[in-house]
Structure 1
Amino acid sequence: MTRAQAAKRVRADKRSAADWDKGITIIHRGRVYPDGRVVRYQQDPILAGVTTARKVNVLGGQLDLDRVEKVIHPRYLSLLERERLHDLRRSGASMRQIAAELGRAPSTVSRELRRNAASSSGYLPHTAHRASVRRRLRPRQPKLIANPELQTYVQARLQQKWSPQQISRRLGKDFDMVPSMQVSTETIYQAIYVHARGTLQRDLAGHLRRGRAVRKPRRDPHQRRPRFIDPITPITMRPRVVETRTSPGHWEGDLIIGANGKSAIATLVERSSRYVMLAHLGDDRTAESVRDSLITTMSPLPAALRGTLTWDQGAEMAEHRAFASATNIEVYFCDPGSPWQRGSNENTNGLLRQYFPRSSDLRVHDVNALRSVADELNARPRAALGWDTPAERLSALLDAS
């Protein structure tokens, strides 16, 4: 059954059915994925009510506890090192002995005890750590607030639709000998978008080329969520026999996309014979639709033709584990940006563009039309096959095996 049919049979909603199908467990305010990842939902601050900030007392005031607990760089003494320093100091160890134990310079230990020791209680590691974090803040007035002349210059150029980079570079030419009139591109962007400081007029953001009211967030590419929930099997782990093209049953697949990206067809090519099969998708190329269409297309194949399937790392194959379980065909993924690793499929997609031009709507082709195109292509002699047709070569391979 399709997922929608199964959900209807057990009277479940679409979201729950999708979660169950993917092996996702629902927990309080979060979800647990099959690979062990736990995703917590962020609570709406309106629903959560007023929450108090996590503050700690420091010599001379208070400090945000989140800032205290954040690890900046190994060159700063950590809280564990400060606790160790405190214990060694109480045991009577000298500064050089403490430095050797911590792997730090003696001057670092001496400076730490001189700067962060409380006068009444001596050296306390937690108090010292908080004092160090607070000293590291070094708050200062933004340059565009401290220099009204510079602020006027920047605002005037922004109103003339100059970009922050153009303003920054021009300042370097007009005031090359005046450091106070120099400002970086990033400083101008922060003055525009960080409205709490009130550095520049808020409506100046409308003069930028993109005209955004808020800055577009950028994520660390190393912290992005993986494209696939289930771990993928790379092409390097594919059986060596696939490379020889001597045994049938090893396929390459991809999608061809129609006009404006609103329609698609899944294409399958058998590596040894170049035999082509087409899977109907219409206007729905989600991972679930691709999975169901490939299962419908490849399930009738005999066991001898169910070996492997090689695909690129497109999100449409996120349901590869469910497809492999249903068809007994192992799925292997190419390296990123390596279309030559499934060259037969790339070549066949070029031939198929004769039937399905890039500017056409692929939704008009039903299952019967796709089967007719595949039959016509499989009856066309190919130079790579010694001018045999894919249908003839596949039949000969099946007879031989």
Structure 2
Amino acid sequence: MATQDWSKKTSDVPEGVRRQWRADRALRPAMRSPGRPEPSRTVQREFWRVIATGITTAEAALQVGVSVPVGARWFRHAGGMPPICLSEPTGRYLTFEEREEIAILRAQGAGVREIARAVRRDSSTISRELRRNAATRGGKQDYRATVAQWKAQQAAKRPKTAKLVNNPQLRQYVQDRLAGQVRGPGGTAVSGPGTPVWKGLNKPHRADRRWSLAWSPEQISARLKIDFPEDESMRISHEAIYQALFIEGRGALKRELVACLRTGRALRTPRARSQNTAQGHVGADVVLSERPAEAADRAVPGHWEGDLIIGTGRSAIGTLVERSSRSTILVHLPRQKGWGEKPPTKNGPSLGGYGAVAMNKALAASMATLPEQLRKTLTWDRGKELSGHAQFALDTGTKVYFADPHSPWQRPTNENTNGLLRQYFPKGTDLSRWSAQELEAVAHALNNRPRKVLGWRTPSEVFAEQLSSLHQAGVATTG
């Protein structure tokens, strides 16, 4: 009931009584009808604890005693992230079980002090509970446990405005690094592919995605301390950025910006791994165990890892990553003349762009742009595209070694980079449509993202230091 209505009806009521009414929230605005009140926070906490064990949303909902649609709605609205603290409240607050016992005793006609003794609470606590959280829609105060729990949860909410809402400069910085436009080394914008309308589903497995700078929330959070060392207002945790993207109602960032995350998922879900296919063309002298020890500790630059990312129609892009600086080179592999004009010939030349001859030529051209001291070894998987590795080693001076079958962890830097590149080159798309200049732009964007493993420096910065140190060493030797 509005305050002015209460003033007319209670003008002759002593001030002490009116103060009590105000304390009991009697003058608050009318609360919306909850319909059937939602399950208690205890049930919701248990739901998110069960979700954390890895079972499905439907199984978690049935396990805590709510319907599957309710559990699915909780998970979807929260973006797969627990929206409430999972630690139980202290004994200071009444639990739902205590409210059920209060409701039973009240229905039996027990007085306030008798109820207080039964639930082992102070009588003033019970008195306030019966006044504040009683159901009043019937015109009188009827105490029901579910309604009382809902009212208590509504009153306990302390809405806090998100940091990105209150700080426009911080919000703009986050959006620019997350969804900013990809540009080439000269500053020219590269639009990338046209993309379908975002529908709020998980990442499109067989569709193009919008190209963006796509810094991860952790990269954005850490880089703020470097770019704004004196401005404490320009600070935000990576978890706060994820919550602004995933959880409904935060309002700071548009939900469709989740498509700029590397996974592109609208919910937090695990990602499946793929396995490499073993091949049998590798000799004993080029297995990983024969690789120099200096390549393993990353202390010496010039050791590379490589692989292909495959698209439809036997299209592919070669990827090279330097183990020390994490600098990336993308190898353009255009289809050969005659592709699609006639059926493929058994044991004939590969026209898809990544046959042994074409691969050697493209890799050699990419590696030739590097100083000799920065092209010592190359670690590849067991793919047949590098079956001409002996000729490649003669042409470039780069010794090739092959990882063990089904062992992607032996090329961790390259596997991680390929995962990042799938944001620009999704599976199930034709990769032959991109020119060498467009691949260079994507590599430029990737090389200018700060990396946690590099102390939040970028691969370009570290690679430039390596080139500078080589130049200084060469000058000293010449002198």
TM-score bucket (shorter structure): 0.3 to 0.5
Bigger strand fraction? 1
**Higher-RCO chain (CA-CA 8 Å, sequence separation at least 6):** 2
Bigger helix fraction? 1
